[in-house]
Amino acid sequence: MQNNVLILDFGSQYTQLIARRVRELNVYCEIHPYNKVPKDLSFYGSLILSGSPYSVREVNSPRVNLSELLDKFPTLAICYGAQMIAQEQGGRVDSSNIREYGRANLIITADNSILFDGIDNNSQVWMSHSDTIKELPINSRLLASTIDVKNVAYSINDKTFCLQFHPEVYHTTHGKNILKNFLTKICKLEQSWTPDSFVNQTIAKLRSKIGNDKVILGLSGGVDSSVAAVLLQKAIGANLYCIFVNNGLLRKNEFDSVLEQYKEMDLNIKGVDYSNIFYSELKGVSDPEKKRKIIGRVFIESFDNEANKIQNVKWLAQGTIYPDVIESISATGGPSATIKSHHNVGGLPDFMKLKVIEPLKLLFKDEVRRVGASMSIDKNILGRHPFPGPGLAIRILGDIDENNVKMLQEVDHIFINGLKKEGLYDSIWQAGAILLPVKSVGVMGDERTYEKCVALRAVESTDGMTADWVDLPHKFLQDISNKIINRVKGINRVVYDISSKPPATIEWE
């Protein structure tokens, strides 16, 4: 057994939060779909079973071979996982007579429970289920209840621990401590997974996998591709060929400024301008998914063209990170719902004879930044807000043309520079402007105008999976609105987006 956690995903929207909390405790973990359990289980020293949108009472609900897994690992089963164990180990699960959603207070009933060691009685926990455990399984021990739910937590043989509530969400006050008790006191795992250890392990893996092959990497100016580039540079040196494509959809002056910054980092980089091709392919296209597909295709075709100018290239590196993978392929293949496609996820066309390597695909955004800091990457690069791979194309609702791009670039420039000037930029996860496909009547001087509207967006988040809108100072918004309307021809109205994710997404498309 090794110092790693296997998380089996049964389709819960919280599964990624489980992984985040485990990693925050400096323990490495991997999410795998319930129906694709790894064949080699010797890599893991602990098991966590996620929740699920399904009911264990359904005939076709997700199932795994519990007897094999529970015998092999110390196990933490959450919500659906706890109900599945109860039902299959001699207990009973029924539909709940009351709604068991939201906050509840934990009443610890067992003495000397390792799982709840140091946890305050009556501390807040978060419920989210419609079934309830009426009878505990054979040889189990009740650990905790709430006022409304008797069987909230139980254990079997002090090796399997089952929770009806969700310790991974922020609303469970001591959830992180509960997870820490499970990982360190029950599983005896070491908290040794750090940015430095990730860098060392990843460099060794890259060297072993790539050997003396040549790799091309598409740099975008963002945090993810920059960190991926430095990792690869440390692993294979001059065999890394970086290409920075100007797709015509970047921020104002970003192509020239970022290209110069990369050269100062001694990266082997070439800048190429394909903006006219992107504009041509996007002409008349307004559907957001079609935009993403076109941009992804042209991006890859551009790389194929540039790769053919370098002899014997074998690999295409990408800065794909975990949220990209999760949102595109439903938590690594589990039954969660797909939200949207990502331009750098989903493989390559048959004509492109390059293998893909993604050194960051199991990291969340904040983890990428910490890894970058451990390699001493410039904080101005690491501190950049996330920027969508398709660029401003998905911030222009409707058709894409060069005039609309330049208009939005000016609006974005005023907004982002204003945030930096007022010291607000670093406290925000992501900010940008959206050009709306509507016109409205306005008055400038004595003249009537009929011009476009832009929406400003600023959110705070830790990983992009959830996000809250930022309550920017009203005086700041007033000043930015005035500057945009006065300086950007064609704009006469500015609005501010106060939607959170969920139910909205960070980007509008």
- Using CA atoms, how far apart are residues 21 and 273, in angstroms rounded to an integer? 42
Distances (CA, A) of 216 to 203, 259, 301, 377, 392: 16, 16, 13, 20, 24
Q: Are 319 and 344 in contact (CB under 8 A)?
A: yes
Of 96, 110, 113, 108, the C-alpha closest to 148 is 96
Instruction: Give residues with Cβ within 8 angstroms of 298, minimum separation 6.
Output: 247, 274, 277, 278, 281
Which DSSP helix (H) or strand (E) runs through 154? strand 153-156
Number of neighbouring beta carbons within 10 Å of residue 417: 14
- Using CA atoms, how far apart are residues 54 and 130, in angstroms rounded to an integer? 10
Pairing of strands 140-145, 107-108: antiparallel
Is 242 one of the catalytic residues? no
Instruction: Fill in the amino acid letter for 324.
Output: D
Locate 491 and state its tokens: 């704009």
Of 77, 79, 116, the C-alpha closest to 101 is 79
> Residue 217: helix, strand or coil by DSSP?
strand
Q: Which of these is catalytic: 29, 79, 187, 242?
A: 79
Is 88 one of the catalytic residues? no
Q: What share of the chain is helix, strand, coil (3-state, %, to 5)?
A: 35, 25, 40
- Using CA atoms, how far apart are residues 325 and 257, in angstroms rounded to an integer? 29
Q: Are 229 and 202 in contact (CB under 8 A)?
A: no
Q: Which of these is catalytic: 29, 129, 162, 166?
A: 166
- Using CA atoms, how far apart are residues 288 and 327, in angstroms rounded to an integer? 15
What are φ and ψ of residue 165, in 5° steps?
A: -100, 175
Q: CA Rg, the chain, in Å?
A: 25
Of 72, 313, 140, 340, the C-alpha closest to 214 is 313
Locate 434 and state its tokens: 């959206």
Give the HSE-up count for residue 5: Cα atoms under 13 Å, Cβ half-sphere: 37
Locate 80 and state its tokens: 């659906």
Question: What is 379-439 written as a DSSP string?
Answer: HHHHTPPP--TTGGGGGB-S---HHHHHHHHHHHHHHHHHHHHTT-GGG-SEEEEEEEEEE
Q: Which of these is catalytic: 168, 358, 367, 410?
A: 168
Pairing of strands 430-444, 447-460: antiparallel
Is 135 one of the catalytic residues? no
Catalytic center residues: 79, 166, 168
